[in-house]
Structure 1
Amino acid sequence: MMASATQNRPILFDLTLSCHRLGEPPDGILRCERQYARALLGRPDLSVKFCRFDKKTGQLELLSRSTAKMLISYAGNKNRHRRGLAKSVGDIVELMRSSQERRYRWFRWGIGRILRRITGNGHVNAKTIPPGTVYVLSGVAGETHDSEALFELTRQTGMAIFAICYDLIPIVHPEFIQINDVTARFRRYMELLLVHADRIACISDATRTDLVAFAQSETMPVPDLTTLLLGLEIPRRSAAGRPDIVQDLAPRSYVLCVGNINIRKNHALLYRVWRRFAAERGEQTPRLVIAGGKGWHADDVIENLLNDRLVTDHVVMIHQASDDAIAWLYENCLFTVYPSFYEGWGLPVSESLAFGRHCITSATSSMPQAGFGLATTLDPDDDEAWIAAISELIDEPQALEEQERQIEARFKRRTWDDAGAEFIEQVLSTGNDAHARPAGRSKSQST
């Protein structure tokens, strides 16, 4: 058991991403931020405060625990709420004043409720943050923070910094990034993080390798690096029966691909493979079900899948699948495919195993690790290898049954309780020398 002195070490957890994306369904990094915040809220023995970064003032604003609970439990609809609803107090006041129409009364009420909750808690400074505090950054500050102002503030207050690194896509694969200035902003954020962070937890071995390679290429210092695997939250069906959106699908008659359709996910390979199957197998071709929203550079592959007469009858696209539908699709598919070029982890690979379904995925970045030695991994550019692997599972039921037996015998799901406990342990042991670091001194000056 940890010493009480370590347990009582102050923690400041940043919830800026949850504020920035209030009203949007949680996915990816946002879901992780909320899960780690839940883990901290579930430990009343710890000294934890919450905050958000205000770009207008360059300050970290303290949030009450009730606000934190509201943010991490909020399951809003992005079509009913404006993006960035709680970006800053000033924005909220302005929205309240400008929302004069009767149809926005509910909106003004909601903003007022948020305003009452988040004001009056003060800002982060040397007076409000006790010595030895660990500042936890579980989102991506390059998107929601002014990186220069943020790290200057942490330097002035002398806080130790614990950050989570999910991937380095804007740096290692900028061709997969939609917005032109994202790469420059992300690169600057990572440069500052490498200088100022006491510990960076990477969500996979591949991400850790990429981070070390980037630091070395830029002759940057490498702080204490750890690996912190994510928890796996399995979509659960809330009711028996088949969701309406999948009524036309027969159980164990289709191959499933879960994930947004964009250029990085490599759905173009699946189009080529299924076109080949349709030409050679005709009506014996199993259906390919793609469950995911439309992302960047998806138009061409979607147009091919919908309009190619050879393929269209063998492909089903579901762009807004509920958790119930996703769970049903996993439970009833033959197996899954995930030919992405690059991932920080590869959640659909692990989800497939959690449902007892074999996955054929890419042998790149983190996906072999996400498959825990139970997935088939292939070159995402090798069409022939994918055709052969998929054909084997379609044509040889005993081979598929053996894969499923191996999954049942060997796969052990890592829960968010497991991940949360390890997260807290890593946070509490971060930069223990920070207790002796005077506020205002850089790490290079501290002893």
Structure 2
Amino acid sequence: MTEPSTQNFGGAERSHATDTVRPQSNSTMAGTVSADVRGRGQELNALQVWIEISVFDHWGPKPHGIPRVTQNIFIESLRRPHLRYFYYHPIRERFVVVEDPAYFLALARGERVFNPLELPDGSMFADALSDGARGLFSAVGWDHPGYFEQLCALRRRCPGLMVQFVVYDLIAIKYPHFFTREFGGRVQDFLRLLPLVCDRFMCISHSTASDVRALLKEDADTRVISIGGDVDNVDARGTDTRPTAAYPFVLCVGTLEVRKNHLLLYYVWRKLAQHLGLSCPKLVLVGRPGWLSGDVVYLLLNDPLTAHLVEIRHDVSNHELVTLFKDCLFTVFPSFYEGWGLPAWESLFYGKVCATSNTASLPEINPFPQLMFDPYDHNQAFDVIRMLIEEPDTLARYETQIPLTFRSRTWRACFDELYQQMVA
């Protein structure tokens, strides 16, 4: 068993398991911070801090991926009454002020179904801005043809606005073959233009921050935020009541797309079926259909060796997902490349071991190097996964190490950190 390593970064200690910076104990530092907070009190109260509400067309009790991030940022931001909101109106093609966020809160709770014709209108965002205002932008702007043009116009009219953009990943630039050419091209174009209007890049991992500096702007101001791992943190209606699996199973959460590397799991479970026979656990895949995944889904569900061992669930609610995490043997996340790897993070948050690939941000999440594998090597992955299945005592020992090596992070703590970065 490997204890989490720590590294010293300029007077702060960073935990390997979470990559979270923890200031060292220092009474002088504490006194300085307290004085600084008192001195900045009036300044912060006067500072306009704006949060973009984005990707809300996929909000509700079953969000995934980027919508899960933007929904949780919005939910947790509501605790700070002085914050103000705006969003990009896709029909009017402009940024507008949100006077009352109740409509968007209802979307998050599942009390309303998204309809673009019901979106609340508002005054022009540019008219409400004061000099020096901070704006957090988080939209997938490539999905809206006029978004970047309007952002440029906003910068010209309001040069004092600090534009801070949440960057999830640069996969479309690094690995364009994981997307269709049309979609990938739109994402690439948007990301490459972003440095023209962005003052600060809010990145969801150190891996993404490194990619921003390598591929977008060498001297970019990048900040890293640690996102939350608690899934069922929204009081949502329409809770899914489907029972969890009544058999031993391994869980894999993620959109069914080529980048998530379900093909590796097909090879692994095919070999497991041959080696373990009736003792082979099932593989439960949770995720919506995505890019270029039809062939592997067909193989998983039609190969006589795997068909009876694989179950695919779509549109799983937050409540059901938590139950699946708690009831599975362990989870697996073989993705080729991630901006973060939220399902792996959530698995550990709920105390379940996750066998992951060893690329991009996943080493920032997985505290156990022995449980990582090359995503292009299905034999290596097979060895790791078979060991966890055949050696329950070893699996149990890894589970007992999770509280010692993994520092759980809630969405509330995530937003508190994000807010401090915004006003810094």
Larger Cα-atom Rg: 1
Partner of 2:277: 282
Question: Matches of residues 295-444 of structure 1 in structure 2 within 5 Å?
Answer: 295-373=290-368, 376-429=371-424
The aligned amino acid for 2:263 is A
Query: d(CA) in 1 for partners of 2:315 and 2:125?
Result: 40
The aligned amino acid for 1:138 is S
Quote the offset at 1:76 in angstroms.
7.0
The aligned amino acid for 1:205 is H
Partner of 1:263: 258
Are the counterparts in 2 of residues 24 and 75 from structure 1 also a CA contact under 8 Å? Answer: yes
- 1:30 pairs with 2:32: no
Partner of 1:71: 104
- 1:204 pairs with 2:201: no
Are the counterparts in 2 of residues 228 and 422 from structure 1 also a CA contact under 8 Å? Answer: yes
Partner of 2:139: 139
Structure 1 pair 62/404, CA: closer, same or farther in 2 (3 Å)? same
The superposition leaves residues 10-62 of structure 1 with CA deviations (integer Å, 9 ceiling, x where unpaired) of: 122222432x5577943322232232233433112x3x332222456553211
TM (norm. structure 2) is 0.82
The superposition leaves residues 413-440 of structure 1 with CA deviations (integer Å, 9 ceiling, x where unpaired) of: 11111111111111112xxxxxxxxxxx
| SS of equivalent residue, structure 1 residue 136 | strand
Query: d(CA) in 1 for partners of 2:368 and 2:245?
Result: 33
The aligned amino acid for 1:51 is F
Of residues 94, 100, 112, the one that matches 1:59 is 94
Of residues 78, 95, 98, the one that matches 1:41 is 78
Consecutive unaligned residues of structure 2, counting only runs of 5 or more, are: 1-33
Are the counterparts in 2 of residues 141 and 189 from structure 1 also a CA contact under 8 Å? Answer: yes
Query: d(CA) in 2 for partners of 1:237 and 1:32?
Result: 13
Give the superposed CA RMSD: 2.6
Moved more, 390-399 or 52-61: 52-61
The aligned amino acid for 1:293 is R
Query: d(CA) in 2 for partners of 1:418 and 1:16?
Result: 20
Query: d(CA) in 1 for partners of 2:368 and 2:164?
Result: 30
The aligned amino acid for 1:70 is Y
- 1:181 pairs with 2:182: yes
The superposition leaves residues 146-175 of structure 1 with CA deviations (integer Å, 9 ceiling, x where unpaired) of: 213312322321211111101012111111
| SS of equivalent residue, structure 1 residue 154 | helix
The superposition leaves residues 198-232 of structure 1 with CA deviations (integer Å, 9 ceiling, x where unpaired) of: 211110011111111112xxxx4633111111112
The superposition leaves residues 273-293 of structure 1 with CA deviations (integer Å, 9 ceiling, x where unpaired) of: 111121222212222222222
Structure 1 pair 293/155, CA: closer, same or farther in 2 (3 Å)? same
Structure 1 pair 406/24, CA: closer, same or farther in 2 (3 Å)? closer
Give identity over the alignment, percent.
Answer: 30
Query: d(CA) in 2 for partners of 1:172 and 1:205?
Result: 16
Quote the offset at 1:375 in angstroms.
7.3
Of residues 219, 223, 235, the one that matches 1:222 is 219
| SS of equivalent residue, structure 1 residue 74 | helix
- What is the number of residues matched between the two proteins? 380
TM (norm. structure 1) is 0.78
Structure 1 pair 352/128, CA: closer, same or farther in 2 (3 Å)? closer
The aligned amino acid for 1:411 is F
Quote the offset at 1:237 in angstroms.
12
